[in-house]
Structure 1
Amino acid sequence: MSIPTLRTLARELSLSRTTVSDALRGSPRVNAETMARVRAAADAAGYKHNPLTGAVMSQLRRSRGQQFRGVIAAIELVEPNRAPQSLRYSQAVKDGINRRASELGFKVENFEIGPHGLRLSRLDAILLARGIQGLVLLPAAGFPDMTELSWHRYTAVYTDYLIDHPPLHCVCADHYRSMVTLLQELYARGYRRPGLFMEIALDERLQFRWEGAYLATQKYLPEITEVPPLRIESVTQPQFEKWFRKHKPDVVLGHFPEAMAWMTKCGARIPETHAFVCLNSLRTDGDCAALQLPAAELGARATELVIAQLLHNELGVPAEPSLTTLKIKLLEGPTLPARKAAAATGAKRKVKPAVGPA
């Protein structure tokens, strides 16, 4: 039995090869009825369209035969008045995308969506014209909506926890496991009153992973005083100081390094009597211990997944979206010394695991 080709499909359907090719890649130049007829015939014949072919041939013509495998798009939803740490994080993710794409023989084209960038309808037209079908979506504030794109043409991975519109594969930092690991490390260093403060919007955006791990782990570590987390709409000094004076945590975890000054105002001496860990190293200047989010690694892993899906011709919204998580590292700093005597005492007792098989 002969292998079906564009030529045989075109002959069977009495259409040109161009029309058949356009129909298989979802070109708006082909009407819906013809597109459906071509795709039905291709499925019946067992024809498998390679989504990279058009992009490869186009680039080969431009590059005069240099080695090349395809093009993917890095798409960023840009909001006005972005914080500096957000810009640095996005750039690190893009660095990871570009590095891994280059290693795999792919070129990356960058696009910005937002008030000062492209509209989704315009982006859709550009991606189609350039034959780009692999997309890496950078983290966005809130819960992004990308449903306007013609998703039957694309495969994509989102570099954050959750996207519902449409539901896509995601790659993100493992915030839950990292909080568990951090609390166990603090316990080993002798801290017994860990306290967590965070803005409600951030807690919700992470689907309560920081808070959930914090609350669960406190219950399984012996001799731990359960300090309730401070969750507020916007972190302010008066609210923090009220919480700090009432619950007296000996180590504070949060996203805002300015809390160290507030702790000092309440009588804490860092690191002699209290410790502090920032939950995002991009918010610091290296002046405190912090968790380092794997931004570049997220971009690289998302790129690998997108390219793998392209090579397997897996286009469209996935039936079962997956979540891939990467480890967050603790960066040592002057605000987190070990309390050797207390740590030695605690080490004599067996620590129950904070998480485990159900």
Structure 2
Amino acid sequence: MSVTLQQIAQTAGVSAMTVSRVMHHSPRVSAETRERVQQAIAALGYQPDPHLARMMTMVRGRKKSRVRAVIAVIRETVPKDALHGTTYQYVPIEDIRRRASQHGYHAEEFWLGKDGLDPARLVCILQARGIEGIIVSPQSSQMLCAQLDYAPFASATFGFGLTQPSLHRAAGNMNLGIQLAVKQLKARGYQRIGLAVTQWVDHRAEGAYSGAMLHVQQAIPQGQRVPVLLFPHNDFSRCRKEFMDWMQSERPDALITFDQHVPDWLEKMGQRVPEDVGLVVHDWTSAMKGYAGIYQRRDHVAAAGVDLVATQLLQNESGVPEVPRQILIPPEWIEGPSVRARQS
């Protein structure tokens, strides 16, 4: 026989509303009362009804949609920053809004650094508007979003750019992406496969790019191993010489790299794509249809980030988590004319 909230309330000597608040982690319950209710729950062996919980979640979602509850998407705009260019892609707001609307929320962008908007001022604006959920999308070397006070908010971040504080995060699985690209290039007969990305890209992925290449190189002959090139500048347009020197000394026949600058550099070196060198874009988007690439499925990354925030809001959780959760989305290989056809 199932245990009811009323039975728990009678055992603990409180109201059914208090029991409900304890179950939903409401801060409006004292520590002493919370402990008494939790002891009653354990003693009676209460198990929540998942079907009822899902129904109540839908009801709350409809109520929130009427008041147009907002999840803030916090970007950074630092025009002279080396990471400001289109090389460093955002998770599109359209994908974020699509998932947010399914939870009954609207997603609205706020830009740190724009018109003098600093972290302290932004927190004041969010609280004044009653916004309790935020997703941070760090996109500058200054990491302005690291200076936010996260205590009042249910929060999550995209990717691995924000290391401190450590929030719940949704990201593409870069390690798996490199392994997938190498497997596809091997199937096309390429043997000396090189990786050339900026230090920031590799650091943002917690070494997943370079780590994955070192892993796959253990399974190939030493003569086919190409040292990873980590461009020394985030503005890698300044790295032409380093790239050309690396190409001449290591002679890779396939590259996992950017779609910008590298094709021009290869042309100036007399290297044809894909006849002489195969080219794979490490972070493919629909604007790069002339290239093969690793698609990080940013629409799914967006959905996972929204889910993380919506779940915290449902559970009345806020602040920097003690144990941050990480959702890694598996990538997809995208065919393109910048690599040879697969060998039979």
Instruction: Give the TM-score taking structure 1 as reference length.
Output: 0.72
Residue 5 of structure 1 deviates from its aligned partner by 5.6
Output one character per residue of 1:220-275: Cα deviation in whole Å (capped at 9) or x when no partner.
Answer: 14687001122231343332222112221111121244323333443433222321
* Corresponding position: 1:84 with 2:96: no
Residue 115 of structure 1 deviates from its aligned partner by 4.6
* Corresponding position: 1:118 with 2:121: no
* Corresponding position: 1:321 with 2:320: no
Cα distance in 1 for residues equivalent to 2:32 and 2:76: 38
Residue 79 of structure 1 deviates from its aligned partner by 1.8
Cα distance in 1 for residues equivalent to 2:273 and 2:146: 48
Supply the AA of the counterpart residue of 1:242.
D
Cα distance in 1 for residues equivalent to 2:297 and 2:231: 26
Residue 329 of structure 1 deviates from its aligned partner by 2.3
Pairing of 1:1-358 with structure 2 (within 5 A): 1=10, 2-3=14-15, 40=31, 43=34, 67=66, 70-81=69-80, 82-86=84-88, 89-90=89-90, 92-142=91-141, 144=143, 146=145, 149-221=148-220, 225-234=224-233, 235=236, 236-282=239-285, 285-338=288-341, 340=343, 344=344
Cα distance in 1 for residues equivalent to 2:87 and 2:77: 14
Q: Is the 8 A contact 1:151 1:316 kept in 2?
A: yes
Residue 197 of structure 1 deviates from its aligned partner by 1.4
- Secondary structure of the equivalent of 2:218? helix
Cα distance in 2 for residues equivalent to 1:176 and 1:80: 30
Supply the AA of the counterpart residue of 1:153.
P
Cα distance in 1 for residues equivalent to 2:199 and 2:153: 34
Cα distance in 2 for residues equivalent to 1:157 and 1:266: 44
Cα distance in 1 for residues equivalent to 2:243 and 2:286: 18
Supply the AA of the counterpart residue of 1:287.
G
Residue 83 of structure 1 deviates from its aligned partner by 1.4
Cα distance in 2 for residues equivalent to 1:269 and 1:287: 14
Q: Is the 8 A contact 1:191 1:339 kept in 2?
A: no
Cα distance in 2 for residues equivalent to 1:163 and 1:259: 28
Residue 182 of structure 1 deviates from its aligned partner by 0.9
Cα distance in 1 for residues equivalent to 2:333 and 2:181: 8
In the alignment, structure 2 segments of 5+ residues that lack a partner are 1-9, 39-58
Compare 181-190 and 74-83 and name the one that shifted more. Answer: 74-83
Supply the AA of the counterpart residue of 1:307.
A
Output one character per residue of 1:186-228: Cα deviation in whole Å (capped at 9) or x when no partner.
Answer: 1122111101112223222222211110121021146870011
Cα distance in 2 for residues equivalent to 1:66 and 1:184: 45
Q: Is the 8 A contact 1:277 1:291 kept in 2?
A: yes
Alpha carbons of structure 1 residues 105 and 187: separation in structure 2 relative to 1, 3 Å: same
Cα distance in 1 for residues equivalent to 2:103 and 2:93: 15
- Secondary structure of the equivalent of 2:224? coil
Cα distance in 1 for residues equivalent to 2:37 and 2:129: 26
Task: Report percent identity of matched pairs.
Answer: 28
Supply the AA of the counterpart residue of 2:182.
L
Residue 185 of structure 1 deviates from its aligned partner by 1.4
Q: Is the 8 A contact 1:72 1:135 kept in 2?
A: yes
- Secondary structure of the equivalent of 1:280? strand
Cα distance in 2 for residues equivalent to 1:226 and 1:140: 32
In the alignment, structure 1 segments of 5+ residues that lack a partner are 10-22, 26-37, 48-55, 345-358
Residue 281 of structure 1 deviates from its aligned partner by 2.7
Cα distance in 1 for residues equivalent to 2:139 and 2:33: 38
Supply the AA of the counterpart residue of 1:83.
G
Instruction: Give the TM-score taking structure 2 as reference length.
Output: 0.75
Supply the AA of the counterpart residue of 1:328.
P
